[in-house]
Amino acid sequence: MLELDRNSLSSEEWKNIEVARPEYNIEEMCKKTQEAPEWLHFGAGNIFRGFIAVLQQRLLDAGLAKTGIIASDTFDYEIIDKIYAPHDNLSLLVLMKADGSLEKEIVASVAEAVHADSSDETAWGRMKAIFRSPSLKMVSFTITEKGYSITNIDGSINKIASADMQTGPAHPAHAMSVVTALAYERFCNGASPIAFVSMDNCSHNGEKLSNSVFAVAEAWFRNGFVSKDFVDWLHDEKKVSFPWSMIDKITPRPAAEVQKKLEDAGIDGMAPITTSKGTYIAPFVNSEKPQYLVIEDSFPAGRPAFEKLTDCGVYLTDRDTVNRTEQMKVTTCLNPLHTALAVYGCLLGYTSIAAEMKNPLLVKLVKKIGYDEGLPVVVNPGILNPLDFINEVVEERVPNPYIPDTPQRIATDTSQKVPVRYGETLKAYIKAGKSMDFMIGIPLAIAGWLRYLLAVDDSGAEMALSSDPMLGELKESLKDVVFGKPESAHGVLKPLLSNPVIFGVDLYSSPYSAGLAEKIESLFCELISGKGAVARVLEEYLK
């Protein structure tokens, strides 16, 4: 049996089972990275291993890079200990094509993996040493949208970030405090320029990152922990940049059928693990082949030669173009469709996104949201055509039966997604002074999510909810709603629908959206009316 580690890479058996291997000297790459690190990445999960690390592998293979990436995690250290370490930081990428074939490759561009844990003296010392290095050019992130948030639903600073603001940079706990503390280490040791690049799937990701870092730094200045010069340095775009980006590649949970095919081919140790933090992860990453990464080209210390990558889906451009591309994808062409499929898939008992696309009503729902309600207000970014993009999503990507993605996974953290995936489109209509009376797809998506929060499926059975940082608060808001009794929902939704933190806009504040709020309330009452109501509502409004 083959083992996924460096010792096995010389075996020709990898070639015999059609697994591509790195073409560069891994030991030399690791040595150069240790001596002069250039790229550190926070968030050691699947999108990093299956996309971002592969980009650096392409550059290394082509001789366009000499160093690798240092992977780090601020949340789940077991990923480093139980997935990276046992396999010498190698990953096995499995691209799942629509014809059922698999394209396999060993990714070795991660030179080192470190806990971003300020309570671990050794790990924290290494992190600080990396940030002190003048050679470090960029720090990238895939920590999910909630990783950037330092506020509660009411806009107040959350408990962990607040504690960090009071205690200073010595032992930060929140991810944003960790980043700010390491930036301060760099400032105090030469203040070399650097780019902090969010590659997370959320609107204005660079702005979310910078706003949180600025807030922590300014609190530390007020509390006497850092100098005003440090705050000024962070705000100087010629020295510290926070480029915006748009990323798109589906990297679902590891699939049992992929694991079996790898093991049948003679590869040992492919079983997934579940960490104590609930992360389900394997030594392999299964993903779709289509991928896009659009990055604002703002790197004060230089960057990898992304412009020399061909057929990798990477585009370097300006912030406005990134914003338009991200809005196209996140608010219209993909993410809103995914979220609608997630909540209705859970309610209707589906365990596969691809299977949902065999339901003509759910196909009509996503087409209503994307084509009819989103496209009229989306701006063409110029580098990717919105109609072509959404056609690929609806006709090829989401229906791919070999992508084992589940509505339960996509329903994770929906509260963090709704203000962008639907709120931005609603705001665009309000800004343009356009009526939203014709809408039915987006109201159904929002009402469906609120119905989902009752934790009862369409058969009336108890249903597990995916994790969400606002789940407790949202369930408390809906505690008086009784499944089967629509009258119990009277007046309950208004505090939620008028909360711009949740929906990106107060749905009662504009004459263009007030009718929409009432429609959502009405749909919600219909959806909770009893067993089978979800299916009946979809049939009635989408027939």
What is the per-residue pLDDT across 179-188, written as a single tens digit (0 to 9) for each? 999 999 999 9
Nearest residue to 506 (alpha-carbon basis) of 392, 390, 422, 423: 423
Give the C-alpha distances (Å, rounded to integers) separating 23 from 28, 63, 182, 205, 289: 12, 9, 33, 33, 21
Sequence-separated (6 or more) residues with CB below 8 Å from residue 493: 450, 517, 520, 521, 524
- pLDDT score, position 121: 97
C-alpha 346/C-alpha 197 separation (Å) is 33
Q: What is the pLDDT of residue 154?
A: 82
pTM, entire model: 0.84
Cα–Cα–Cα angle for 370, 375, 381, nearest 5°?
A: 120
Residue 152: the pLDDT is: 87
Q: What is the mean pLDDT of each run of 10 residues along the chain (543 residues)?
A: 96 97 98 98 98 98 98 97 98 93 97 98 98 98 95 90 98 98 98 98 92 98 98 98 96 93 97 96 96 97 96 96 92 94 98 96 98 94 95 94 91 93 92 92 98 98 95 95 96 92 86 84 97 98 93
pLDDT for residue 404? 84
Task: Determine the Cα–Cα distance for residues 64 and 105; give it in Å rounded to an integer.
Answer: 19
Instruction: Identify the helix (H) or strand (E) that includes residue 273.
Output: strand 273-274
* Contact call for residues 111 and 135 (beta carbons, < 8 A): no
Nearest to 369 by CA among 418, 425, 434: 425
Q: Give the phi and the psi of residue 408 in degrees, each rounded to 5.
A: -65, -40
The predicted pLDDT at position 508 comes to 87
Q: At what angle do helices 335-347 and 414-421 cross, to 10 degrees?
A: 130
Contact 96, 402 (CB under 8 A): yes
Cite the DSSP H helix spans in 199-255. Answer: 205-222, 228-235
CA 227 to chain centre: 33
Rounded distance between C-alpha atoms, residue 275 and residue 298, angstroms: 36
CA-nearest of 421, 418, 426, 440 to 539 is 440
Q: Per residue in 219-267, pLDDT tens?
A: 999 999 999 999 999 999 999 999 999 999 999 999 999 999 999 999 9
Helix, strand, coil percentages (3-state) for the chain, rounded to 5, are 50, 15, 40
Assign residue 243 a region (left: φ > 0; alpha: ψ between -120 and 50; beta: otherwise).
beta
pLDDT confidence of residue 103: 97
d(Cα 42, Cα 140) in Å, to the nearest integer?
A: 6
Closest C-alpha to 243, from 290, 287, 279, 297: 297
pLDDT for res 342:
98
Specify burial of residue 543 (Cβ count, 10 A radius: 0-12, 13-18, 19+): exposed
> Which residue type is seen at 476?
E
Beta bridge partners of 94: 104, 286
What phi and psi, each to the nearest 5 degrees, are found at residue 454? -75, -10
Nearest to 179 by CA among 251, 109, 110, 130: 130
Identify the burial level of 465 via C-beta atoms within 10 angstroms of its C-beta, where 0-12 means exposed, 13-18 middle and 19 or more buried.
Answer: middle
Phi, psi at 526, each rounded to 5°: -65, -40
